């Protein structure tokens, strides 16, 4: 499964995104209070910080047995959880970059699965 997630990072690199704009908009927030901005922020937070992924990570750590003292075991578990959270958020970030580079570049509003299939069929040639 990890290899599948790495493909998002590779795809984002080859998506011909405007990396200067990506980095600027990553670190310089644009705050708006219209309904589209608020719903996008709620969707992004809900997808990125889903309780499912946090419970899944903790459960995996509980099931894994580690050698050494309890202090060493806890450090190893903390490192695993931290790396998992960072990697998960990094993959989420590159999914957003891929989506923006493909849909936003063509100024498409996709509201249905049929529209997504039609767009990707046209975009892929």
Q: Which pair of structure tokens corresponds to residue 20?
A: 């200067």
For residues 80 and 91, is the Cβ–Cβ distance under 8 A? no
pLDDT of 65 > 60? The answer is yes
Whole-number pLDDT of residue 20: 93
Round the average pLDDT of the chain to a whole number and report it.
78
For residues 57 and 81, is the Cβ–Cβ distance under 8 A? yes
pLDDT tens, 5-26? Answer: 888 888 888 888 889 989 998 8
Asked whether the whole model's pTM tops 0.85, one would answer: no
**3-state SS assignment for residue 45:** helix
Q: How far apart are CA 76 and CA 62, in angstroms?
A: 12
Q: Which domain holds residue 24?
A: 2-123
Q: How far apart are CA 61 and CA 80, in angstroms?
A: 8
The H or E element spanning position 23 is helix 19-27
The domain total for the chain is: 1
């Amino acid at each position: 499964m990890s290899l599948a997630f790495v493909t998002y990072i590779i795809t984002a690199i080859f998506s011909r995104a405007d990396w200067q704009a990506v980095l600027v908009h990553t670190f310089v927030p644009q705050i708006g209070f219209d309904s589209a901005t608020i719903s996008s922020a709620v969707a992004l937070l809900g997808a990125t910080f889903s309780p499912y992924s946090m419970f899944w990570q903790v459960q995996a750590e509980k099931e894994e047995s580690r050698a050494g003292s309890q202090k060493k075991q806890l450090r190893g578990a903390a490192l695993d959880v931290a790396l998992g959270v960072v990697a998960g958020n990094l993959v989420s970030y590159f999914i957003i970059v891929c989506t923006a580079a493909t849909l936003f570049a063509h100024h498409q509003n996709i509201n249905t699965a049929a529209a997504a299939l039609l767009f990707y069929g046209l975009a892929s040639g």
